[in-house]
Structure 1
Amino acid sequence: MSEEQKIDWTSGEIGNLWNIYMANSMSSCMFKHFLLNCEDEEIKDCLVTADQLSKDILSHLKEMFHQEGMAVPMGFSMEGDVNESAPRLFSDSFYLNYLDMMVKYGALYYSVALPGFSKMDLRQSITDINISSLNLSNQVTEMMLNKGLHVRAPSIPKMKEVSFVEKQSFFNGYYGDKRPLSAMEITHLFLNIQVNAIKTILVMGFSQVAKDAEVRNYFLRGKKINIKQHNTLSQIMYKEDLPVSIPSQFMITESTEAPYSDKLMLFHISNLSSAKVRNFGDSMAVSPRHDLGATYARFFLETANFAEDGGNIQIENEWMERQPGNVDRNQLAKEKK
């Protein structure tokens, strides 16, 4: 055995692998019910690929946890968190758009997580997973293009010559002249609008079927937040004479029978909210206009508070699995007799 293999995992490696396991455990359950109800064979092929990728990741991580002597997270299961007899809740077109969002989030997370890994075998595992996710993202995008479901970002004129910013008014957003949006500002407005549209459909569907009243109300609150944020971002685009498009084929059925446990649905929405917090932070970083920065900062806090409240509900119901962490050495000292 080489010295590389004898080195213990770092906090970054443990934390990221734990997160990856939990996310794929949840995704596998989501895909399971999608596959039971999907009628479009081409969309089903994409879901099968995604489901198999999640299962392969879970199997590989279980083996790694066992070898390292770490407990395998409980995560989510088909037996405890999926109701196979429940009718479909969403349309096939939503399945594809949902999958598009999730594989993009996955690829982004794996890329961000990679620098936190030191062991080369673990870095290679994350790299392989990311490549598979990116290939799946390409497959899903091609499928969406073929089916007319892919919504492109707005087009802008091509730059004909190089120019430089000459005035500090470049940063204005509230007072004085307000410059047109830059390409990256448009891109992030568009992407945030798209994510909000998908998440709104998701929380609307979940609110229909959740069994616990507090969880239902939480989803309804999430729906209001998403719609409000969508309207704000859309208005910024409209004022620039830029089109705002969302897929029109999304559909929620009238079913009130839950395909998933409240525990899984709440975890899912809380996790997506945390991902949106990162999105808003990234958007703030590439949006120099003051009004955009202030809007994203407000959304950042609003969504972070919403995610925390979801976490509190999970804790109250003893649904939140504890992530690996450091030892409380002060407590150990107090317990010493």
Structure 2
Amino acid sequence: MTGNENYIQLTSAEIACIWSEYMNDTMSTCILGYFLSHVKDNEIKSVIQFAYDISTTRIGKLSEIFNNEKIPLPIGFTNKDVNINAPRLYTDPFMLQYLAHMAKVGLLAYSAFVSMGARKDIKTFFTTGLQETSDLFVKSTDVLLEKGLYIRAPYIAYPMNSTMVETNKYLSGFSFFSKQRPLNAIEISHLYMNILTNQIGSKLALSFAQISPNSDVQTWMLRGKDISNKHAKIFSSSLIDNDTQAPSSSDVCITDSTTPPFSDKLTMFHMSLLSAAGSGNYATSASASQRSDLIVNYERLSLEVAQYAKDGADIMIKNEWMEHPPTTLDKEKLAKDKNFSN
């Protein structure tokens, strides 16, 4: 590669993107491989197989990029992090809902990766990944709809005409003297999304606590379940107070198995990934919402998620489960440690 006069070195952003994607895809193949060994519904199995094939293909292409650039391949996740022969932990409908949710997370990630790429091959890789992830989202939601499992956003009456905001009271969410204005469609859509995100997070955290042999991990996962349930309840209350039905999913998602199909290293990474995605969702929701009480909720709940993620990182570091991302050299340390023997 370096002998090519047209060779362009990867930027720090591009290295970050391929490293992050390798970590995510190796995690995904472990989870999807386990799903494939237990799923019974053929339609759901075909969607899982589609997702698994995408991830395995990406890992091969990413490995080639790392090797060509002579960058050490990340450790990521391997067969050591999954036991596909462990008893069934999730129901088929939950596997499908999980796929649809992770496809949404992937769409956001790939959009960011595409925008950070400059080199043509990197942009092409992530543009293709964005299309593949979009196809996965469509396939998974189509099957959810066919089986009556898709949780729709609340309906509202169509507007009769277009109007302008006439007073800054429109932005106020707190008043002892007047009723809060009704939620607008944008605010409802973000409340809906964050309720569903927390419902998925709660189920995953509970399942990971159920299978973990580590008391620190169990405690942290159960705390995550409680945080997700609390946040979902707060967002649901905003809808209910607006006389709008809050979305809900089935509680029949997890079996009573306590045999670990996944390593604690994998489950901790997965929940950290979801925590980061949740923080991003809250920031987006706060910026899109116009009623001040909603903005305050998103901001204060973001702090709780950030502290939860920090405590999770401490557990990962303590157990040597956190892989070091590529980083710059410490030039000051390099200067101090250089060899003067010559």
Scaled to the shorter chain, the TM-score interval is: over 0.9
Please tell me whether the aligned partners of residues 26 and 76 of structure 1 are also in contact (alpha carbons under 8 angstroms): yes
Find the aligned partners of 2:253 and 2:56 in 1 and give their Cα distance: 28
SS of the equivalent of 2:309 reads: helix
**Residue in 2 that maps onto 1:278:** 280
Shift in Å at residue 249 of structure 1? 5.8
Please tell me whether the aligned partners of residues 22 and 76 of structure 2 are also in contact (alpha carbons under 8 angstroms): yes
Shift in Å at residue 85 of structure 1? 2.3
Find the aligned partners of 2:157 and 2:329 in 1 and give their Cα distance: 56
Equivalence map 1:155-234=2 (5 Å): 155-175=155-175, 176-234=178-236
Shift in Å at residue 302 of structure 1? 0.5
Find the aligned partners of 1:67 and 1:247 in 2 and give their Cα distance: 46
1:287-312 Cα offsets, whole Å, 9 max, x none, are 11110000000111110111111111
Does residue 124 of structure 1 match 2:118? no
**Residue in 1 that maps onto 2:295:** 293
- Mark the runs of 5 or more structure 2 residues left unpaired by the alignment: none
Shift in Å at residue 74 of structure 1? 0.7
Which residue identity does 2:24 align to in structure 1?
A
**Residue in 1 that maps onto 2:32:** 31
Which residue identity does 1:7 align to in structure 2?
I
SS of the equivalent of 2:165 reads: coil
**Residue in 1 that maps onto 2:60:** 59
Find the aligned partners of 1:46 and 1:247 in 2 and give their Cα distance: 20
Please tell me whether the aligned partners of residues 194 and 281 of structure 2 are also in contact (alpha carbons under 8 angstroms): yes
Please tell me whether the aligned partners of residues 271 and 307 of structure 1 are also in contact (alpha carbons under 8 angstroms): no
Shift in Å at residue 4 of structure 1? 9.2
Please tell me whether the aligned partners of residues 37 and 85 of structure 2 are also in contact (alpha carbons under 8 angstroms): no
**Identical residues among aligned pairs (%):** 38
Shift in Å at residue 5 of structure 1? 5.2
Find the aligned partners of 1:222 and 1:247 in 2 and give their Cα distance: 18
Shift in Å at residue 160 of structure 1? 2.6
Which residue identity does 1:274 align to in structure 2?
A
Aligned pair in 2 of structure 1 residues 113, 4: CA closer, same or farther (>3 Å)?
A: farther
Moved beyond 3 Å, runs of 4+: 1-5
1:102-123 Cα offsets, whole Å, 9 max, x none, are 0111111101221111112211
**Residue in 2 that maps onto 1:115:** 115
Which residue identity does 1:263 align to in structure 2?
K
Please tell me whether the aligned partners of residues 18 and 62 of structure 2 are also in contact (alpha carbons under 8 angstroms): yes
Equivalence map 1:247-266=2 (5 Å): 247-248=249-250, 250-266=252-268
**Residue in 1 that maps onto 2:105:** 105
The answer to which of 4-13 and 218-227 deviates more is 4-13
**Residue in 1 that maps onto 2:47:** 46
The answer to which of 158-167 and 3-12 deviates more is 3-12
The answer to which of 154-163 and 143-152 deviates more is 154-163
Find the aligned partners of 1:219 and 1:95 in 2 and give their Cα distance: 19
SS of the equivalent of 2:37 reads: helix
Aligned pair in 2 of structure 1 residues 4, 45: CA closer, same or farther (>3 Å)?
A: farther
TM-score of the superposition, structure 1-length normalised? 0.97
Shift in Å at residue 250 of structure 1? 3.4
**Residue in 2 that maps onto 1:236:** 238
Aligned pair in 2 of structure 1 residues 37, 335: CA closer, same or farther (>3 Å)?
A: same
SS of the equivalent of 1:187 reads: helix
Please tell me whether the aligned partners of residues 13 and 117 of structure 2 are also in contact (alpha carbons under 8 angstroms): yes
**Residue in 1 that maps onto 2:134:** 134
Aligned pair in 2 of structure 1 residues 334, 174: CA closer, same or farther (>3 Å)?
A: same
The answer to which of 2-11 and 226-235 deviates more is 2-11
**Residue in 2 that maps onto 1:69:** 70
Find the aligned partners of 1:168 and 1:268 in 2 and give their Cα distance: 42
How many residue pairs were aligned? 336
Please tell me whether the aligned partners of residues 94 and 249 of structure 1 are also in contact (alpha carbons under 8 angstroms): no
SS of the equivalent of 1:137 reads: helix
Find the aligned partners of 2:10 and 2:40 in 1 and give their Cα distance: 44
**Residue in 2 that maps onto 1:143:** 143
Which residue identity does 2:74 align to in structure 1?
P
Aligned pair in 2 of structure 1 residues 5, 291: CA closer, same or farther (>3 Å)?
A: farther
Find the aligned partners of 2:181 and 2:18 in 1 and give their Cα distance: 44
Alignment RMSD (CA, Å) = 1.4
1:279-336 Cα offsets, whole Å, 9 max, x none, are 1001001011110000000111110111111111110011100001111111111112
1:206-244 Cα offsets, whole Å, 9 max, x none, are 111101110111001101111111111111110011111
Please tell me whether the aligned partners of residues 82 and 260 of structure 1 are also in contact (alpha carbons under 8 angstroms): yes
